Structure 1
Amino acid sequence: MGSSSLLMTFKDSNGRNLVHLFFLYRRLDFFEQFLNERKQYLLRAVDNEGNNVLHLAALLAPQFKLFSGLSAKFQMDKELSWFKDAERRVPHGLKSMKNKKGKTPVDVFFDEHNQLSKDIKEAAKGIADSGMVVATLVATVAFAAALTVPGDKNNVWFIFFIVTNAIALFTSSASILSFLTNFISSRFADTEFVISVHPSLYYGLQLLMISVTTLVYAFIAASFLIFDHTTKWVSYVVTPMGFSPLLVFILFQSKFWDDSYWSKYYRPDPNLGRQT
């Protein structure tokens, strides 16, 4: 009984009780075991700064303030998922409660994660800028190839060349427009808080990948048109080479899958950042 009373009255130097610390250090497993009807008032308590448990859940994880090993986008996904999970576990009234600085838990979340938002916007700008350059090059090559169609126009490879070259031209043009929308909109404004990259960047990259792939296929078709009646073996040598860019792309994309796995299963070291 004495031990239970001690837990009920425990507070650290910041006026935070045990439930506050569960949310601050993100140990909802302990919270679920600890909480019952007799301890509901602990959940509604505030610390010396007027922060309730949701205010503390909105803070950037102590382990992440030094180093997380995650990209800004994946870290923001984890932070947002954690905060929404915490919101579902507390009384509704805590969501709109203000601390002594006049901030709700959502306000604290925005303030704490403002740098992550800036990092995401910077990464998105880089993606859009680089993507537009590559897409423009692909569109230029595809347009020039369409004006100088090689070989016999009655050949089946001619049809294949026209179709794949047209796909490369139009998808690269669509990719340019997708990336361009990010520069003419206000979503990169300094006052805008973002939690992820805009879908236009994702679709822009997908369209760019399609355009590069079909451009490779168009080149293979052109090789069959040019060497159809002469040294046809050249085309058979060129064809396997066309798959090498795709293999390289898949290899480099392993970084994305690594981030996805890291984001899903990563658990920060509780000892990280402690003074020894």
Structure 2
Amino acid sequence: MSQHRHQLITSVDSFNNTMLHLAGKLPPKNKVNHTFGAALRMQEELRWFEVVKEMLPPPYYERLNNKGKTAHQVFTVQHANLKIEGEKWMKETASSCAIIAMLTVAIAFGATITVPGGRNCENGLPIFSRNGFFSAFAFSNTVSLSTACISLFAFVSILTSSYAEEDFLRVLPKRLLWGLLTLYASIEAMMLSFGCALYFVFKDNYMVFYVGFVLAVLPILAFQHWRGSLVNHLFFEVKKKDNSLES
């Protein structure tokens, strides 16, 4: 590190605030990205604080300003309301998604009991067990049930989290990402199993079958439209954090 750069990052203002103290202050509202929820804004603030912290020598971490506060204490005070808003946003998002996951679990579990075409009275096996569409139905339904359960566990873990300040940096966003991805996979698999079940109902009328199969894709497209940007943002933010930890 050059001497000029070292002097720049270790300089203090008239209130004895280091660069880390200034990084701990909340930016003006007109400078904040409001595209996503408060929890993700909190994540961005924590990441910026960590980036600045890595630039400074360790003795500056605990340096006090004129008010007798460390940079971390300044960050905690400045972001107290944002932390509360972030917890509220995260719980509301997890609660709404958990309801969808529970419904998917119920539908997928019910489909394993009432298989298409019913069962053979003699041996109890499904009548269409040798049909390729039935194998696809059984596999996709199993995937739907398992991924919905994983998604539900992820959202429950968010709801029961301690919501410590550092959790907003990586733990909570990663759980939300896993929950949304597995929920998306569950809905996709459920729609595929629904399409396979349509085959047994309308196998003599392919036009109705194809129309029904196309309509089954609409929930997937709707989920991608409304939650796709959030999933993409979470994915790249978590990946960015993982890469920074590896380096």
Same fold (TM over 0.5): yes
The match for 1:78 among 44, 56, 66 is 44
**Equivalent in the alignment of 2:93:** 127
**Equivalent in the alignment of 1:164:** 140
Q: Structure 1: where are the runs of 5+ without partners?
A: 1-34, 264-276
**Equivalent in the alignment of 2:21:** 55
TM-score under structure 2 normalisation?
0.75
Equivalenced residue count is 220
**Equivalent in the alignment of 1:238:** 212
CA distance in 2 between counterparts of 1:150 and 1:132 reads: 28
**Equivalent in the alignment of 2:223:** 249
CA distance in 1 between counterparts of 2:58 and 2:220 reads: 50
Change (3 A) 1:200 1:36: closer
TM-score under structure 1 normalisation?
0.68
CA distance in 1 between counterparts of 2:188 and 2:231 reads: 21
Query: C-alpha deviations, 1:106-165, integer Å up to 9, x for none?
Result: 221122122222222111101221122111111111122221111323211111111111
Change (3 A) 1:47 1:148: same
8 Å contact from structure 1 (residues 74, 259) kept in 2: no
CA distance in 2 between counterparts of 1:205 and 1:42 reads: 40
Aligned counterparts, 1:106-121, within 5 A:
106-121=72-87
Q: Does 1:215 align with 2:190?
A: yes
Q: Secondary structure at the match of 2:69?
A: coil
Q: Does 1:87 align with 2:87?
A: no
8 Å contact from structure 1 (residues 155, 225) kept in 2: no
**Equivalent in the alignment of 1:103:** 69
CA positional deviation for 1:222:
0.5
CA positional deviation for 1:66:
5.2
Q: Does 1:195 align with 2:168?
A: yes
8 Å contact from structure 2 (residues 177, 231) kept in 1: no
Change (3 A) 1:69 1:259: farther
CA distance in 1 between counterparts of 2:220 and 2:21 reads: 47
CA distance in 1 between counterparts of 2:199 and 2:9 reads: 76
Q: Secondary structure at the match of 1:36?
A: helix
Query: C-alpha deviations, 1:69-106, integer Å up to 9, x for none?
Result: 42324433432333333334444432221123332112
8 Å contact from structure 2 (residues 39, 87) kept in 1: no
CA-based RMSD of the aligned residues comes to: 3.1
8 Å contact from structure 2 (residues 64, 70) kept in 1: yes
Of Structure 1 and Structure 2, which has the larger fraction of its residues in helix?
2
Using the aligned pairs only, state the percent identity. Answer: 27
CA distance in 1 between counterparts of 2:4 and 2:198 reads: 74
Task: Give the residue type in structure 2 aligned to 1:163.
Answer: F
Q: Secondary structure at the match of 1:98?
A: coil
Q: Structure 2: where are the runs of 5+ without partners?
A: 118-127, 238-247
